[in-house]
Chains A and B, each alone.
Chain A
Amino acid sequence: MGTRALGIVALIAVAAASANALFVVPPDAVQGDAQRIMYVHVPSAWLAYLSFGVTALAGIGYLWKRDLRLDGIAVAGAEVGVMFTAFAIWGGMMWGRPVWGVFWQWEDPRLTTTALLLALYLGYLLFRRLTDDPHRRAARAAVVGIVAAVDIPIVHFSVEWWRGLHQGPTFGSPDKLLHPTAPGLFVLALVSMVVAFTIAWTWLMIRRYQLARIEWQIEEHGRLGRLSAARRAGRASAPPPADGAPERA
């Protein structure tokens, strides 16, 4: 019930904020309507990184507590994150074409880092697929997720240094929206989009986690079932356990 309410709120929020960003807010003086893509690209990118952070933290949590629910959160983060990452890259490229003249700009740290983020996510998901045993998969995926997450900040800094040395064109920068001198209307539109998208993200995460939980509950049920079936098969022929000397508690 609560999830459904959240879903409706998310839908309304995203619709409203998007309508505002795409139609109500005036276009940018320099970049024109193309700049509107930023209202979608920036929240997507933020959520892509957030998802990966969640995956890494849930992985650490699993290694500590060995609770498969945390692994469910980790896989939810990875799958939801892949979606937002792909979306962010697509948005970045769509924005880049009219503004930069090219689809891809190597020195834009966000674009390059996000592309690498996608590669890391997909590797993580593929890796999960190739391991069967749930606990083994959870432990190894957690480890892979942690190392990948640790790499991301390094990638970001390295590309920033890369750009800094090149002194490339600066008139078309996605950072413009976050600049302190950006008009209040733009900032408000952006913030509302971020909030709306984050609500949608939360809903997606919950749904994916619920799915994961059902999956491992079935799995666990199956495991316990096989365990008791094996016992029943054995108990039919086994004598009761010995109980010689008095037990000392």
Chain B
Amino acid sequence: MSALRADAAVALQIARKDALSELRGRQIAGSTLFFATLVLLLFGFALGPDPRRLADAAPGLLWLAIVFGSLLIVARLHQLETEDGALEELARYPIERHAIYLGKLLAGLAAVIVLGGVLLPVVAVLYAIPVVAAWPALAATLLLGAIGLAAVGTFYAGVTVRMQAREVMLPLLMLPVVAPLLLAAVKATTAALGGNPLGDLAAWLQLLVVFDAVMIAAGAATYGHLLEE
């Protein structure tokens, strides 16, 4: 039990360090927000101007923007470690490998939640959808989706961190894996916005929970091997 507490403490320390770096002007969340908003704008140009079509497509577009944004977030969080050989230094401490993974995951999770939280009102405005009424369900979907994206993204950012062509390898490896998350998150969002007519909201949220649990377990178990040389 105390080993778990030690791991949790280590993970929180790492997440806190990343959060400090971010708040001090790394602009990870800032530039990502800007990018994601641009994506939503472009979607508007691509699919508009019929408001009904946009409203129908809104959940999908929202989550696509969040997914693309999370790619940037996890990549830049790992970049913090490569700039001065800090990742190798981090791996040399007497800490569990999965604690490092969880720490980076928590930092990524915070950023993705912020991203989603900001994009939701943006989508509400741009695509004219009612978000206020359904906000508990939307919040739950956002949280569960963010956890999954952070879990998978942190893992693949670790995979590609020192590779050549990492800018293309990260999305190439990560995007197929998040397809079920995207599906479930969009379905859940659609259900939430429509008042859950088919009663499937719970099922999709359950799928998200399963995805998150499996991916966190797989990532935590294998991250250590990525740190080896």
Contacts and interface: CB of A to CB of B under 8 A. Distances in A.
Interface of A: 63, 116, 119-120, 123, 126-127, 130-131, 136, 139-140, 142-144, 146-148, 150-151, 154-155, 157-159, 161-162, 165
B89 interface: no
A130 B229 contact: no
A62 to B, nearest CB: 10
Contacts of A154: 180, 207, 210-211, 214
A144 B177 CA distance: 11
B169 A130 contact: yes
B207 A143 contact: no
B198 A144 contact: no
A147 B177 contact: yes
A131 B177 contact: no
Contacts of B180: 151, 154-155, 157-159
Contacts, number: 78
B103 interface: no
Contact of A143 (B152, B211, B215, B225): B225
Contacts of A165: 187, 198, 200
B10 interface: no
B183 A162 contact: yes
A158 B207 contact: yes
Interface of B: 152, 155, 159, 163-165, 169, 172-173, 175-177, 179-180, 183-184, 187, 198, 200, 203-204, 207, 210-211, 214-215, 218-219, 222, 225-226, 228-229
Contacts of B175: 119
A164 to B, nearest CB: 9
A185 B188 CA distance: 44
Contact of B183 (A126, A131, A147, A159): A159
A131 B226 CA distance: 13
A66 to B, nearest CB: 11
A146 B220 CA distance: 12
* CB-CB nearest 8 A-B residue pairs: A158-B180, A119-B176, A143-B222, A151-B177, A123-B173, A155-B180, A154-B180, A150-B218
Given A161-B200, A162-B187, A165-B200, 17 more contacts: A116-B176, A119-B175, A119-B176, A126-B169, A143-B159, A147-B155, A147-B215, A150-B214, A150-B215, A154-B214, A155-B179, A155-B180, A158-B183, A158-B207, A161-B204, A161-B207, A165-B198
A148 B214 CA distance: 11
Contacts of B169: 123, 126-127, 130
A151 B169 CA distance: 18
Contacts of A157: 180, 207
Contacts of B177: 120, 147-148, 151
